[in-house]
Structure 1
Amino acid sequence: MWRVKSLDAILATAEKKSLHRSLGPVQLTLLGVGAIIGTGIFVLTAAAAQKAGPGMMWSFVIAGAVCAFAALCYSELASMVPVSGSAYTYSYAVMGELLAWMVGWALILEYAVAASAVSAGWSGYFLGLIENALGFQWPELLRQGPAWSMNGWMPVADFSHGIVNVPAIVVALAVTSLLVVGTTESATVNAALVAIKVTALTVFIALALPVLKTGNFSPFAPNGWFGPAGTTGMGIVGAAASIFFAYVGFDAVSTAAEETKNPQRNVPIDLIGSLGICTFFYLLVAAGAIGAMGAQPVLGADGSAVQPGSAAFVAACALPANADVLVCSNEALAHVLRQINFPVIGNLLGLAANLALPSVILMMIYGQTRIFFVMARDGLLPEKLASIHPKFKTPHIVTMVTGVFVAIAAAFFPVGQLADISNSGTLFAFFMVSIAVMVLRVKDPNRPRPFKTPLIWVVAPVAMVGCAVLYFNLPVEAMAVLPIWGAIGLVIYFAYGYRKSHVGRGVTEVPELSPDAPAGPVPPMPGAPAPGSKEERD
């Protein structure tokens, strides 16, 4: 369980059985911006306002700061190990197979559920557009999944306001089909969508900031920093834990390292650059939304603070008095423009979101399939998942499996709850990367580092603490998903991965490099079955 795969072996294996390097620095930066700017600012602005009110401005700052520290740790490792696999690969080289499996398993949760969240967010803008621009009323029960609440530790579904989110299913499967066709084609389409998305946000800022009213920022923190007593996942820090979802796309840049030209130079620059560009937009857009129409949370029937997406929240938003408030909108930015007398531009922004949000779904499914690909390449998952399509040169099987899962989750869960669940896996992976970069500084201090994290003994611990604080400020149900998902992962690992692991079986793609390594094939590890024997075939 604690066996490691050396960095030299990882790099050499990737070089021998690798994905095609087709992404240049501009494409990679656009992939990063495309993955980061999306549901977090277009959709989760409303959920963050429900948790923190205007105080969500601080939530963006907190989440962005934690991501910045984590990005610095990621940059060092991504520049040293420019292969697919992201935090999973780094953990395998530093902390051993078991922890690497747990990190990879958490990343699968992160990316797949994140893609579902964005699909559900896209659905809100799609329905708002066709209803406001075309006057078509989508069937009520087919516009969203049920509202979920917890009865003790048992989730309970309320189907009174919705049964299934049909548009979310359609967009998830459409993006999956595009990814099966190929990486280069996907990146080209994404570049155009990023341009549309940035233009839409720029127009929003230009129209919303001039009508900003300082009175809309008061009370600034109606739920305080950590939420009212007896609540979890509320307040400014709780909103930061949710809005963290808006930044996690930068990790997808490092998962694309194996398909990047000159990764030692381009990956670190594009990681930090894409994060900085997106943070700038986030703060301006949030200020515009709050200042233009206010962002105070709605209250439950008993006057208490309620979680976005919960049954109590849905009931509060169904009241006529709350019909037009920001926190109840499924298309927050378009809704703001309509409320300040720009209905046509609001519809155009809705159209831009409809065109652009699929780029985020694309990058999330892209990242998840690459994690699956590398874990299968290491033997921890069935190697059939690592099959490359003979024509399209993409891991088509795992892409299609992922797409079906994404569509199902998007169909039955609201965007805010999906984002919180995704964050639980993300925060765990970032926490482990922060440990890995410090361990590797001690274990292998002389290895070339094209990018070195500055003040590593400050930056990495701050990233660890930040990730832990945000995790424990997620809603209880979101926190509970990670250990349950982890337990399922452990069962799969000990039932399959522990026995089939290439490192454990002594199956090496290339010799591990060391000064006293013998020439020729590497012998199997002690206790491993002999090559070609029945035990090895089994």
Structure 2
Amino acid sequence: MASGTAPSGGSPPGTLLHSLVRTKPVDDIVAEGGQGEGGELKRSMSLLQLTLFSVGATLGTGIFVVLGEAVPLAGPAVTLAFVLAAVTALFSALSYAELAGTIPVSGSSYSYAYATLGELVAWVCGWCLLLEYAVSVSAVAVGWGSYLNEFFDKAFGFTLPAAVSGSPGSDGGWINLPAVAVVAIAASLLLRGTSESAVANMIMVFLKIGVLVFFCAVAATAFKSGNMSPFVPMGWAGVSAAGSKVFFSYIGFDAASTAGEEAKNPKRDLPLAIILSLVIVTLVYVAVGLAAVGAMSWRRFALSGSEASLAKVLDESTGMSWPSIVLSFGAVVAIASVVLTVMYGQTRILFAMSRDGLVPPVFQKVSRRASVPVANTLIVASFIAVLAALVPLGKLVDATSIGTLFAFALVSAGVIVLRRTRPEMPRSFRTPFYPVTPLLGIGFCVYLMVGLGGVTWLVFLAWAAVGLVAYFAYGRRHSRLAKPPELRKESP
């Protein structure tokens, strides 16, 4: 393994500034791929599995609830809003594709930032992703319990008692056992091995896409051309507002990048998986949006409630209850898939941070039997389960989106930095229209971040402040780059 660090702005080694801006050489990052303490991650994921991992992380609760919020803003032109959001996401996706093919490791945007922008920026990026992943998957697990109850109610006429299906603070809630159950199921799959998790995710993704195709087919039987006119009733300002609303239903397309050390052919497959997953999700979103507004007047969406919007379309289209039962089942499957893939991503980012010495070594210990980080997975699952079972998440869920946008912006910036510092480096995918594409990626992310509310920014800044304390108390002193070159281990 190479022993030196990349230039760090000319600051002398050993100084505070040097430690904050030191970068980890790309060659070192790639050379460490798959290595953990006690074992190695296994390269077992194909292009199809990688693509469906990103689809599984993206195609979740968003499509089941977002139409009820977006259609009143844009009317039938909600389909254009999905395309607008997809184009915005594409700028970041292209940057992810270039760096994923160049630096195919588990750390995703954290590792890309470490190679290009320095240790402190990488730490803040990784720290924000920990909040975004943990809180978002906890919220998704809570939502899974709600959809499970809805499915039980429609299919069998009963619901779980409020005391064991709601967190403290909700009506009669004491503990959310369904949320704990779905986290435990996801953890058990992850502990069995990456290939087993990938197969389970493939089955769930095909099921939920099948349910959404079923929705489109049923809604198409009630399609009325009059519902599509006027197509843009609120003007392009409405389309733009709806685009901002639905953008967050695209978050998750980068999930494949966290599997860089378990992909069979990462340099070829990671860029393809990221782009293909974005295309697949966009086609599904546009088809569902078109079918929904064609079957039910866009004005009625504001009355039906966001969480019931798709079910309301089926109820009005058929006059029967069984189609909405099928849809509820699809929502249960969709959310379970998100829990699995997002938990996987968080464990792999912690794995990469631990290997760099920035978090305790327990997170990089790999089981020789299953070739997965067992302790890491158990710790993450336990934390998420407690959070989902006992903590009313409230607006904290919305605040996690800013961490994702921050990571997206850093990845686009990383493409620019690496093109300047390592122009000769082989790249299996090159972002087209450079540097316009990454600059637009940064611009759109900053624009969306500025538009977020004050509470969101307060949570983001407070979490970042806690992260800085953790970095100076532990990460900076234990960083592998802080050790003299001759004392660094040749392998983690």
TM tier, smaller: 0.7 to 0.9
* TM-score relative to the length of structure 1: 0.79
Instruction: Map 1:353-392 onto structure 2 (within 5 A).
Output: 353-392=331-370
Judging changes above 3 Å, is the alpha-carbon distance between structure 1 residues 15 and 411 closer, same or farther for their aligned structure 2 residues? closer
For the Cα contact (< 8 Å) 2:396–2:459, is it kept in 1?
no
For the Cα contact (< 8 Å) 1:87–1:433, is it kept in 2?
yes
C-alpha separation in 2, matches of 1:124 and 1:393: 34
Of residues 260, 264, 275, the one that matches 1:261 is: 264
Determine the structure 2 residue equivalent to 1:426.
404
C-alpha separation in 2, matches of 1:79 and 1:415: 36
Of residues 329, 335, 339, the one that matches 2:316 is: 339
For the Cα contact (< 8 Å) 2:223–2:291, is it kept in 1?
yes
Determine the structure 1 residue equivalent to 2:213.
202
Amino acid at match of 2:466: I
Consecutive unaligned residues of structure 2, counting only runs of 5 or more, are: 1-19
Instruction: Map 1:215-254 onto structure 2 (within 5 A).
Output: 237=240, 239-254=242-257
Instruction: Map 1:264-283 onto structure 2 (within 5 A).
Output: 264-283=267-286
Provide the identity percentage: 42
| Displacement of 1:41 | 1.1
Determine the structure 2 residue equivalent to 1:436.
414
For the Cα contact (< 8 Å) 1:179–1:399, is it kept in 2?
yes
For the Cα contact (< 8 Å) 1:197–1:353, is it kept in 2?
yes
Amino acid at match of 1:391: R
User: Bigger CA drift: 436-445 or 43-52?
Assistant: 43-52
| Displacement of 1:13 | 2.0
Determine the structure 1 residue equivalent to 2:477.
499
Of residues 87, 91, 112, the one that matches 2:113 is: 91
Residues 371-391 of structure 1 deviation map (CA, whole Å, 9 limit, x = unaligned): 011001100000112112343
C-alpha separation in 1, matches of 2:49 and 2:415: 27
* TM-score relative to the length of structure 2: 0.86
- SS of the residue 1:393 aligns to: coil
Amino acid at match of 1:243: V
Judging changes above 3 Å, is the alpha-carbon distance between structure 1 residues 38 and 219 closer, same or farther for their aligned structure 2 residues? same
Determine the structure 1 residue equivalent to 2:291.
288
For the Cα contact (< 8 Å) 1:193–1:356, is it kept in 2?
yes
For the Cα contact (< 8 Å) 1:13–1:509, is it kept in 2?
no
Of residues 477, 483, 487, the one that matches 2:461 is: 483
| Displacement of 1:206 | 1.2
Root mean square deviation, CA, Å = 2.8
Matched, 1:12 2:15: no
User: Bigger CA drift: 391-400 or 432-441?
Assistant: 391-400
C-alpha separation in 2, matches of 1:164 and 1:282: 34
Determine the structure 2 residue equivalent to 1:23.
45
Judging changes above 3 Å, is the alpha-carbon distance between structure 1 residues 28 and 486 closer, same or farther for their aligned structure 2 residues? same
Residues 137-195 of structure 1 deviation map (CA, whole Å, 9 limit, x = unaligned): 3435655457xxxxxxxxxxx64586654422321222122212221111111111111
| Displacement of 1:500 | 0.5
| Displacement of 1:213 | 4.1
| Displacement of 1:273 | 0.9
Amino acid at match of 1:97: E
Determine the structure 2 residue equivalent to 1:45.
67
Matched, 1:177 2:160: no
| Displacement of 1:342 | 4.0
C-alpha separation in 2, matches of 1:425 and 1:403: 21
Bigger helix fraction = 2
Judging changes above 3 Å, is the alpha-carbon distance between structure 1 residues 453 and 429 closer, same or farther for their aligned structure 2 residues? same
For the Cα contact (< 8 Å) 2:142–2:176, is it kept in 1?
yes
C-alpha separation in 2, matches of 1:247 and 1:343: 30
C-alpha separation in 2, matches of 1:468 and 1:508: 38
| Displacement of 1:394 | 1.4
User: Bigger CA drift: 58-67 or 431-440?
Assistant: 58-67
